[in-house]
Amino acid sequence: MSTQQPPSIDSLRVLHRSDDYIVVDKHWDIRIDSKMWYEKQTVQLQLQHHFPHLADPSTYYGFRFCHQLDFSTSGALCVALNKAAAGRAYRCFKDRTVTKAYLSLLRGWVEHETQTLDFSIGKNSTEGKTHMMCIEGSEGCENPKPCQTELTVLEYGLYDGDPVTKVLLQPLTGRTHQLRVHCSAIGHPIVGDFTYSLGADDSPYRMMLHAYLLHIPLEPQHLCVTAEDPFVPAVDPKWAPQRSPRTLAATVEALLEHRKTKESERGGGRGGGERGKQNKHRKAQEDSEEQRRVCQEWLNEWAGD
């Protein structure tokens, strides 16, 4: 179970380990990696401390991180242990077949228990806010791109006496700060989000956003892990649930079942038997030079080539 203790080199919780991947439960308020010499607490350094024999000296960071989590976000983080594994994971992320779901506590009581948040997000060019993202139409919003998030209410309650809603968030796209910006856009910012409250929400010990579920459809074995829910009274007694429209277990089960249905539909459209194999081979041959170039750039970034 996660605690309110700050991160340390020793505080690395492993959720999954194989010859190709390690999935860790990233602590809140710790960077994944850093080029700055003064950064003493990073996931990169934790991995080097616990698994020095698995570090790849040919890479800049020693480990290939398959995706990113914000500094203030905790939860499931996948690390590839070789270039081939990184390439397979990259393909899943590029094809948007990865399923991710986050737990969060939001300020206020969210009225609509299930909803799709559909706001294009761009870079904020306003002076003093260039480290932030913003929704299309707001002042200083540059190059907004479409993005969607599925929101499902799990519990209503109080946090330190104030109304709060516990939700499951499923990003359907992967824009920077997407969940934080989307929740703020509907008037329910994430509890403890110092940045998007413009410094006002500084009393909680952390930002309440946690990468709970990670499913990567790797072959031949899918990778599916969950990182234990930290938003429970046993961990943070300031959180007092009052009413629960649905359980976390049932919500995640329905989400994964929906994913399996979509996967079956995609598979059915490809044809079966020898014909399906021929179509798959043809599709592989038709991969554009642009796709191969982007893939190689991604690998080179983590490999330090």
Active site residues: 70
Integer Cα distance of 65 and 261 in angstroms: 29
Tokens standing for residue 279: 């179509």
Among candidates 191, 188, 147, 145, which has minimal Cα distance to 170?
147
Helix residue spans in 59-209 (DSSP H): 83-94, 178-185
Q: What is the CA radius of gyration of the chain?
A: 20
Question: What's at 118, amino acid-wise?
Answer: D
Do the Cβ atoms of 125 and 207 come closer than 8 Å? no
Q: Phi and psi dihedrals of 220, rounded to 5?
A: -85, -10
Q: Please give the Cα distance from 240 to 155 (Å, whole number).
A: 10
Give bridge partners of residue 149 from the DSSP assignment. 117, 171
* CA 141 to mean position of chain CA atoms: 23
Chain position carrying tokens 């009052």: 242
* Pair 97, 222: CB distance under 8 Å: no
16 secondary structure, DSSP code = E
Is the CB of residue 227 less than 8 Å from the CB of residue 210? yes
Indicate the Cα dihedral angle 15, 305, 217, 95, nearest 10°: 140
